[in-house]
Homo-oligomer: A and B are copies of this chain.
Amino acid sequence: MNNKPAILLIRPQLVENIGTSARAMMNCNLSEMRIVNPRDPWPLVSPQKERISAASSGADEVLNNAKMFDDTPAAIADLQVVYATTARPRDMIKEVVTPRQAITEIMDHIREGRKVGLMFGPERTGLTNEEIVCAEKIIQVPANPEFSSFNLAQCVLIMAYEWLMATSTAPASAMDLGKTRPATREELFNLFDHLERDLESGGFFTTPELKPTMVQNLRNALTRAQLTEQEVRTWHGIVTALVNSGERKKRHG
């Protein structure tokens, strides 16, 4: 997806937050950062230069391409859809959505080719009401009401992470088997036969009427483990080694 939402940091105070936001964006395949009137003027000089570099952990691509603006109207001028993030509800009649709902909607806008931006306010004060008015909707994380204090970079990460999850094709669950493969049922049956035969000789099934249930439980546990072909072979070896151990003990006993 080439069209992606822009991340707008409005009057950010700490370069660490700009750097960590860039890191979150780059991790989540977002690239367009716009910065309005940061406290430390750009291009940064020492020691801010070193501080942002430590925080961004190599996300230079995002920082080097960041665009600077003097005010918010200029920064959002070309955008067609704007969301404002806020921590506290404002006395405004405007739809408030969760980060997940926002990204669901934004995906639709993006598919239509619209230019979307997400605005994040300064660390302590947040966006002004004048800035929030510029947005169609407000995004709020439904956080613990008694302790709602995400910092700027945490908010950016949450939005970037939702974007990542909405665009990712990664399976929800996967198991990389390398050179081996899942065992076939026949391979499992052979292992069960081997194991149960030696358990029988070892006197494991003391009560004959309980044997079917015991066998079932044992087979269920080994089936739950989703053994690979290679592991089935290993488990044959384990059964054999345990039997051997008994034989040797008997010999040396």
Q: How far does the alpha carbon of A97 sit from the alpha carbon of B91 in the complex, in Å? A: 41
A98 beta carbon closer than 8 Å to chain B:
yes
Min Cβ gap A57→B in Å is: 5
Residues on B with beta carbons closer than 8 Å to the beta carbon of A24: 150, 154
Residues on B with beta carbons closer than 8 Å to the beta carbon of A97: 172-174
Query: Chain A's interface: helix, strand, loop or mixed, by majority?
Result: loop
A96 beta carbon closer than 8 Å to chain B:
yes
Contact of A141 among B91, B100, B150, B164 (CB under 8 A): B164
A221 beta carbon closer than 8 Å to chain B:
no
Q: Are B154 and A98 in contact (CB under 8 A)?
A: no
Q: Are B173 and A95 in contact (CB under 8 A)?
A: yes
Q: Are B176 and A28 in contact (CB under 8 A)?
A: no
Q: How far does the alpha carbon of A170 sit from the alpha carbon of B140 in the complex, in Å? A: 10
Given A149-B57, A154-B157, A161-B161, the answer on whether A96 and B175 have CB atoms closer than 8 Å is yes
Count class of interface residues, chain A: 35 or more
Within 8 A of B (CB), among A147-203: 147-151, 154, 157-158, 161, 164-165, 168, 170, 172-178, 180
Residues on B with beta carbons closer than 8 Å to the beta carbon of A143: 27-28, 164
Q: Are A175 and B95 in contact (CB under 8 A)?
A: yes
A213 beta carbon closer than 8 Å to chain B:
no
Residues on B with beta carbons closer than 8 Å to the beta carbon of A176: 89, 93, 96
Min Cβ gap A125→B in Å is: 15
Given A27-B148, A27-B150, A28-B143, the answer on whether A228 and B175 have CB atoms closer than 8 Å is no
Min Cβ gap A161→B in Å is: 6
A144 beta carbon closer than 8 Å to chain B:
yes
Residues on B with beta carbons closer than 8 Å to the beta carbon of A164: 141-144
A113 beta carbon closer than 8 Å to chain B:
no
A84 beta carbon closer than 8 Å to chain B:
no
